[in-house]
C-alpha cells in the first residue's frame, strides 16, 4: 500500500499540503453538531439543520436526551420555541422518563416551564423514579413554586 506522501507525489507542494490536511480533518455526525448548536443557542444553525432534514427531532441521543431536552437543559426559551415550532414533542421522555417539564422544574427555568404548560405539558407525568415535575422544584425557585401552587408539592 502506498504511503500517504507518495500518494500525493504528483501534486505540487501546496496541493499536497492541502490534501494532507484534508485527510486529517475531523468530521462530526450531524446529530453531534446539531446538539452543539442547541447548547450554544445558535438558533440560525438549529433552524437550518431542521429545515434541511439533517436531523430527526425525536431521536434520543447518546446523552440520553432528545433535542428538546437539551434545549430546556440549556435554559434557552427561544431555542425551545423553535424546536416546538418544527414539531418537537413536549411530552417526549428521555431514557429515564423525564419530560422537558421535569428538566425545566429541576433546573429552575420558570419561563420554559410556563411555556411548556401553556402548550399542554403534563404536570402529572411521572419519571422512572415516580417523581412529578413539581417534586423536583427547589423551594428557592419561587416562580416555579407559585406556578405549581395547588398541585402536590412536598
Note whether residue 23 is domain-resident: yes
The answer to whether the Cα torsion of 50, 63, 74, 97 is positive or negative is: positive
What is the pLDDT, as a whole number, of residue 154? 44
Note whether residue 153 is domain-resident: no
What is the pLDDT, as a whole number, of residue 24? 56
Burial annotation 85-112 (CB, 10 A radius, 16+ → b, else e): eeebebebbbeeebbbbbbbbbbbbbeb
Note whether residue 152 is domain-resident: no
| Residue 32, domain extent | 4-147
Report the alpha-carbon distance of residue 56 to residue 143 in Å, rounded: 33
What is the pLDDT, as a whole number, of residue 79? 97
pTM score: 0.77
DSSP state string for 97-153: S--HHHHHHHHT-HHHHHHHHHTT--TT---TT---GGGG--TT-HHHHHHTTTS--
Which domain CATH number covers 15? Answer: 1.25.40.20
What is the pLDDT, as a whole number, of residue 61? 79
In the chain, the number of structural domains is 1
For the chain, 154 residues long, the average pLDDT of each consecutive 10-residue run is 53 67 60 89 93 85 88 97 96 95 97 98 97 96 90 48
What is the pLDDT, as a whole number, of residue 153? 45
Amino acid at each position: 500500500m502506498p504511503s500517504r506522501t507518495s500518494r500525493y507525489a504528483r501534486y505540487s507542494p501546496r496541493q499536497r499540503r492541502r490534501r494532507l490536511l484534508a485527510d486529517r480533518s475531523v468530521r462530526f455526525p450531524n446529530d453531534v453538531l446539531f446538539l452543539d448548536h442547541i447548547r450554544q443557542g445558535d438558533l440560525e444553525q438549529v433552524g437550518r439543520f431542521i429545515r434541511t432534514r439533517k436531523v430527526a427531532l425525536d431521536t434520543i441521543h447518546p446523552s440520553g436526551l432528545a433535542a428538546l431536552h437539551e434545549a430546556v437543559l440549556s435554559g434557552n426559551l427561544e431555542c425551545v420555541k423553535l424546536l416546538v415550532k418544527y414539531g418537537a414533542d413536549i411530552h417526549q421522555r428521555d431514557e429515564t422518563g423525564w419530560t422537558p417539564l421535569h428538566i425545566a422544574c429541576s433546573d429552575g427555568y420558570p419561563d420554559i416551564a410556563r411555556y411548556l404548560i401553556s402548550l399542554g405539558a403534563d404536570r402529572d407525568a411521572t419519571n422512572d423514579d415516580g417523581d412529578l415535575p413539581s417534586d423536583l422544584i427547589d423551594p428557592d425557585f419561587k416562580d416555579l413554586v407559585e406556578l405549581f401552587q395547588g398541585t402536590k408539592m412536598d
